[in-house]
Structure 1
């Protein structure tokens, strides 16, 4: 199904997978984006629980990364510089002097190709040239969305022609009360992490990860978001809320977070095989939404599994390096249920 056209006239497609009463997902080839995620809530009402924009120009023209596949490198790289095999790599900067989500023309702004599609799954592919946004190596990436009843699985893969760094994620903003229902202040969030990553005024990690104890980042039990986001804490002041990496316990594909809405009796359990989870409470959300509405800060929350920010400059942290002959792979699962 058509969704519009890129500025150069190439068509943007929309593919629907899954079916009611289970989850139904609309995927756009622009940004390999989860455009709509229809879920039957615990109250029996069916809703779209992710934020989105209605047109190609609004998706291309307004930052926010709503539902998009992020690459080559999710999150930030300090000053857009890192060293790889003794050579300084300089990549595009687009956020307070740093590289964010691959640069101003990241994979969220690219037109992906549908590689395969079925009633319950779609795979999209993208080739990122050697030197794209400054990153070395030609990278061939795929993302597969699969629906199985109440679960959505997202699998990212990538291969490279030369040593490089790859860190992919999905950037959906969730509101379990439904798109357009207001803020996520009444939602609860639990994150299975004992440490988080303090950042400077530009979003770059300070020294090392820190314990969540006695901070607003202690989300080890289900915590109502509204009061937490307004705590007087220096790490929240600069970001106007939470926009931080959490170091998740365990390894392999395992539950990392639970987001719930008591209002609609709906819960989302997020599983990932990554060591980090960027929690972004939509502090800077703005711009057009659906059906003439405009988004405001706090209208959705992004839960982005990934490696830690600025990892290419942190040799003691888990690496994002990818070599020729290797295959990068990451998996995200969203499992929706009734409270």
Structure 2
């Protein structure tokens, strides 16, 4: 097993077993400078969408960088995925990336020191993501791999299982309304493993993980026609699941599956959602573990 990292966007350029690629990526690092799909990137400060490109914290209203219509996507125009990080290889199986986001970057308050540690231990790839802030500010980071799992077929052929019985209701711009809808009643039931193509719609939804779940068990499992199986372990309350309907050249639409654990999207604007506000006394931390089994490599 091997992994390739870039200092731009803390991007995971590639992840392989032998010569079998497990994620989508560009061969040339410079292609990431104009990539509109967030391939393999660390996204934030706040992953996913912030409605109206604004939020209120205390008595202060903050205006953010709008980069998807009137909304903020993945932290704004110059989010974490568009920054140059420091990158140090600690050993043959571990690397650490660091980036300090200045106060006011993309409209967010406070200076934030981000660190991403990446560790390879067959059959697992682990991301340990942390952030130290100098004042209260929202932080919710996601890792944005597109999992292909050695297959060049559409992910509709993949079997998906999620530790979730609810997903966030969204408007026509993808902004959560504050409601949680049941998966069984809305055709997004992956409580038991089934082919993604059995659903009647393209998926780009935040699935809420069962709060009483066994944290020793994966929050998501993906089985591909290649025979590879991906198990995702996360300490986050949910994940955006995206079937890549909007991928385009040089990739095929639906060629990869994104599973992006993070805090609830748009949380600072919805009081009923779990808070994502961090402070000097309450720093940010996320652990994401990806485990591979099976395959015909």
* Aligned mate of 2:9, from 31, 53, 59: 31
**1:254–1:273 contact (8 Å) kept in structure 2:** no
SS in 2 for 1:255: coil
Cα distance in structure 2, aligned partners of 1:312 and 1:253:
29
SS in 1 for 2:286: strand
**1:253–1:331 contact (8 Å) kept in structure 2:** no
Show structure 2 runs of 5+ residues with no match. none
Pairwise CA distance, 1:115: 4.1
Pairwise CA distance, 1:186: 1.1
* Aligned mate of 1:167, from 132, 140, 144: 140
1:301 aligns with 2:274: no
Cα distance in structure 1, aligned partners of 2:87 and 2:64:
28
* Aligned mate of 2:164, from 193, 200, 204: 193
Which residue does the alignment assign to 2:188? Answer: 217
Pairwise CA distance, 1:254: 4.6
C-alpha distance after superposition, 1:13-60 (max 9, x if no partner): xxxxxxxxxx211111111111111025xxxxx411101123344212
Query: Within 5 A, what are the aligned runs for 1:1-339?
Result: 23-39=1-17, 46-178=19-151, 181-228=152-199, 231=200, 236=201, 241-250=202-211, 254-261=217-224, 263-287=225-249, 294-338=250-294
**2:144–2:260 contact (8 Å) kept in structure 1:** yes
Cα distance in structure 2, aligned partners of 1:250 and 1:147:
28
C-alpha distance after superposition, 1:121-178 (max 9, x if no partner): 1010000000000000000000011011110110100011121100111000001134
Q: Please give the TM-score of this superposition, normalised by the length of structure 2.
A: 0.95
**1:151–1:334 contact (8 Å) kept in structure 2:** yes
SS in 1 for 2:198: helix
SS in 2 for 1:201: coil
**2:47–2:75 contact (8 Å) kept in structure 1:** yes
Pairwise CA distance, 1:307: 0.8
Cα distance in structure 1, aligned partners of 2:63 and 2:136:
15
Pairwise CA distance, 1:247: 0.4
Q: Please give the TM-score of this superposition, normalised by the length of structure 1.
A: 0.83
Show structure 1 runs of 5+ residues with no match. 1-22, 41-45, 288-293
